């Protein structure tokens, strides 16, 4: 079972996170932000991950530390659950429509954290969530998961649809890249022999 638990406590957040990569899409999310809860719930559903997140953050300031630190923990948990990465597909991309929005994500579970993002979100907030935090979350995830992640907005003007498209597209790309190819279940997918 590819499973990991992460606990992280700072002066800004106190987080407990659990993930099972080969899960059923169920989740129990309490981030302190209703919108981020919604995004993490659909992330679990579309990735078919079993995910639990409990975060107590300094939300009286804003949701920046909460979003970034959950991204850090999710990335660390994802990396830990993958183990030595033997047998994984490694690469995946998803172009996902969300009504008028069209989002492309492409990733490589390479062991090297890199993040590139091109989003054009006109609104400053969606519900209780600052829209700029979507890219902060995914940057924290990519660096800590040790993956190369590219996110591109190909179309869209509704902030909710754009960000929801990003979370769904990332979930589906991660699910496919992390899948085990039964033909090469003990093989590290790199000429280096390690990822």
Sorted by where each begins, the domain ranges of the chain are 3-184
pLDDT at 195: 87
Tens digits of residue pLDDT in 116-139: 999 999 999 999 999 999 999 999
**Does 3-184 carry CATH code 3.40.50.620?**
no
What whole-number percentage of the chain has pLDDT above 70? 100
Calculate mean pLDDT across residues 136-162.
Answer: 98
CA distances (Å), 37 to each of 54, 69, 77, 178, in order?
A: 10, 14, 18, 23
Tens digits of residue pLDDT in 66-77: 999 999 999 999
Other C-beta atoms within 10 Å of 89: how many?
Answer: 15
pLDDT at 189: 86
């Amino acid at each position: 079972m590819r499973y990991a638990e992460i606990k992280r406590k700072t002066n800004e957040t106190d987080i407990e996170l659990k993930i099972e990569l080969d899960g059923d899409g169920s989740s129990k999310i309490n981030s302190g932000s209703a919108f981020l809860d919604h995004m993490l719930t659909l992330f679990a559903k579309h990735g078919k991950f079993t995910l639990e997140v409990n975060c107590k953050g300094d939300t009286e300031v804003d949701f920046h530390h909460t979003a970034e630190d959950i991204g850090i923990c999710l990335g660390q948990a994802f990396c830990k659950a993958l183990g030595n990465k033997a047998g994984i597909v490694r690469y995946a991309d998803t172009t996902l429509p969300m009504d008028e929005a069209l989002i492309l994500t492409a990733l490589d579970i390479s062991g090297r954290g890199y993040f590139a993002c091109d989003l054009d979100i006109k609104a400053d907030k969606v519900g209780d969530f600052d829209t700029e935090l979507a890219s902060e979350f995914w940057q924290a995830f990519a660096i800590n998961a040790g993956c190369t992640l590219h996110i591109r907005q190909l179309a869209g003007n509704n902030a909710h649809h754009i960000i929801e498209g990003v979370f769904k597209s990332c979930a589906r790309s991660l699910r496919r890249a992390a899948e085990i190819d039964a033909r090469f279940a003990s093989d590290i997918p790199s000429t280096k022999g390690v990822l």
